Amino acid sequence: MSSGIPSRYVPTEKVLIGGMGVVLVCQDTNLDRKVAIKFIQDVRDQRRLFDELTALQKIRSKHVVQIFDVFLNEADRRVGIVQEYVSGDDLQSFFADRSSLSIDEYLKVLYQISSGISDIHAQGLIHRDIKPNNMKFDQANIIKIFDFGLARFSGKDDSTVGFVGTEGFAAPELYISGFVPFTNAVDTYAFGITAWYLSGEEIPKDLLRRPPHLATIPSFSSIPLGIPDAIVKVLDRTLTEDATERPAMSEIKDILGNYLLHGKHRGLLVYESNTYTLETINQVVKLGVKNYGSIHIKYDGFNFLVDAVNGSVFVNNQLVEKGQALPKSCVITLEDNFGKRGRLFLTFDISNPEVVL
C-alpha cells in the first residue's frame, strides 16, 4: 500500500474509505503533522489532472480543503494527492443523530456549504461530486469540502461511460447519454439534494430514481424543521429539471446569510448631540419636530423601512417614500412645512455583526 510514497510521509494505521476510494492518513515527518493522501489509480491523462489540480489551488475559500503536495508513481501511473487532514466526521455521520437539529444550526450548515461551493464557482470551477460524505467539520467547526470529482481521471472508471458524480446526487442532465456539456448547475442540484438529506427527512423516492423524476417532488416547505419561505423558494429552485433555472450558489449563500442576521442589525440615529439605537424587531422610531416633516422608521428584522412619512423628508437628498428601505448609511433631512427651506439633519447608520459560524 505504502510503496511509492515519498519517505517524508509515514503511513499511520488510519485508512479512510471515501467516495473516491482509499485515503491514507500519514504523518508528514518534515512538518510533524498529519496529512491525508488520496490516490488516483492508473491515471491516463496526467497533464489534464495536473492542470485541474493547478486550478483547484486558485480557489480562495475557508471551506475548501487545501492541497499541500502531489506525487506520481511512474511505475503504476498512480498519483498521490497530499491534503490537509481534517480529523472530524463527515457530514453524513455527523448528522446521524439529527433529533436535536435546530433550524438555526441547519441553516448555518447550509450557509457554509453554499459559501464553499460559491467560492469554487467564483474560480470558474465545478466540484462535480457534492454530497454530505465529501464534507467535514474541522476542529474550529468550519465545514470543509473535499474530493473534487477527480475520479474521472482514473482509468478504471471508463466503464461508467462518462458518468461522474454519485447517483442520487447527480443532476438529470448527467444521465443523458453521449457527450453532454454541463455547467456548475450540477453542483447546485447536488447541493439541493444535500440540503434535503441534512434535514433528516427521508429523500423523496422520485429524487432517487435514475434519472430523477422532478415534476412530482414535494417542496422544501414540507420539511418539519420549518424552513423560512424565502429560503424554501430558493432551495426548491435548486431541483429544477432545466439547469438554467437553478439559482447561482452565490444567490443561495446571500439569502441564507441574510436570514442568519435576522434581528441582529442595529440602526444608529444621531440628532444634534443625541443618539438613539433601533435594534428590536418591529420597533418603530418616530422622528418629528413641530412644523417640520416627520418620518417613522421600522425594523422588520432584515431592513429598516420607512413606515410612515409626512411633509417633505429626504434621505441622502432624495425624496423618501413609504415602504422604502433605508440605505446602510444616510442623512435624513426634515424640511419645514412653510416652504422656508428650514431644514433639520439627522444621520442614520445601519450595522450588523458579520455572519458568524
Size of site (CB under 8 A) for another protein: 46
State the Cα–Cα distance between residues 249 and 241, nearest whole angstrom: 17
For 323, counting Cβ atoms within 10 Å of its Cβ (0-12 exposed, 13-18 middle, 19+ buried), the class is exposed
Q: Does residue 291 touch another protein according to CB under 8 A?
A: no
Which residues are CB-contacts of 324 (< 8 A; sequence separation ≥ 6)? Answer: 305, 306, 315
Q: Does residue 3 touch another protein according to CB under 8 A?
A: no
Least spacing, CB of residue 345 vs another protein, in Å: 9
Least spacing, CB of residue 181 vs another protein, in Å: 25
Which residues are CB-contacts of 39 (< 8 A; sequence separation ≥ 6)? Answer: 21, 22, 24, 78, 79, 80, 81
In the complex with another protein, the residue whose CB is nearer, 301 or 327, is 327
Taking Cα atoms as reference points, which of 153, 155, 112, 157 lies closest to residue 135?
Answer: 112
Least spacing, CB of residue 97 vs another protein, in Å: 25
Bridge partners of residue 180, in order along the sequence? none
**Choice from 2, 54, 160, 222 touching another protein (CB under 8 A):** 54
Choose the binding region for another protein from 109-117, 139-147, 148-156, 294-302 (rule: CB under 8 A).
Answer: 139-147
Q: Does residue 7 touch another protein according to CB under 8 A?
A: no
- 118 to 60, 115, 121, 249, 290: CA distances (angstroms): 11, 5, 5, 5, 51
Cis peptide bond prior to 211, omega within 30° of 0: yes
Choose the binding region for another protein from 41-49, 114-122, 193-201, 326-334 (rule: CB under 8 A).
Answer: 326-334
- Name the DSSP class of 91: H
**Choice from 99, 139, 177, 282 touching another protein (CB under 8 A):** 139
Query: Per the residue annotation, which of 129, 138, 187, 206 is the catalytic one?
Result: 129
Verify whether residue 129 is a known catalytic residue: yes
Q: Does residue 120 touch another protein according to CB under 8 A?
A: no
Choose the binding region for another protein from 89-97, 134-142, 178-186, 196-204 (rule: CB under 8 A).
Answer: 134-142
Choose the binding region for another protein from 49-57, 94-102, 188-196, 303-311 (rule: CB under 8 A).
Answer: 49-57
**Choice from 10, 15, 31, 180 touching another protein (CB under 8 A):** 31
Tally of helices (H runs) and strands (E runs) in the chain: 7, 16
Residue with cell 447517483: 167
Q: Cβ of 18: how many Cβ atoms within 10 Å?
A: 14
In the complex with another protein, the residue whose CB is nearer, 171 or 287, is 287
Q: Does residue 77 touch another protein according to CB under 8 A?
A: no
- 346 to 121, 270, 289, 290: CA distances (angstroms): 42, 6, 12, 15
Q: Cβ of 58: how many Cβ atoms within 10 Å?
A: 10
Site for another protein in 250-289 (CB under 8 A): 265-266, 268, 270, 273, 275, 277
Least spacing, CB of residue 255 vs another protein, in Å: 17
Sign of CA dihedral 40, 41, 45, 50: positive
Q: Does residue 322 touch another protein according to CB under 8 A?
A: no
Q: Does residue 12 touch another protein according to CB under 8 A?
A: no
Q: Does residue 69 touch another protein according to CB under 8 A?
A: yes
140 grid coordinates: 474550529
β-strands 78-84, 33-40 pairing: antiparallel
Choose the binding region for another protein from 186-194, 206-214, 225-233, 328-336 (rule: CB under 8 A).
Answer: 328-336
Q: At what angle do helices 103-122 and 249-260 cross, to 10 degrees?
A: 150
344 grid coordinates: 433639520
Q: Does residue 150 touch another protein according to CB under 8 A?
A: no
**Choice from 11, 62, 77, 262 touching another protein (CB under 8 A):** 62
Q: Does residue 222 touch another protein according to CB under 8 A?
A: no
**Active-site residue set:** 129
Residues found near another protein in the complex (CB under 8 A):
30-33, 50, 53-54, 57-58, 60, 62, 66-70, 84, 138-140, 142, 265-266, 268, 270, 273, 275, 277, 314-318, 327-331, 347, 349-354, 356
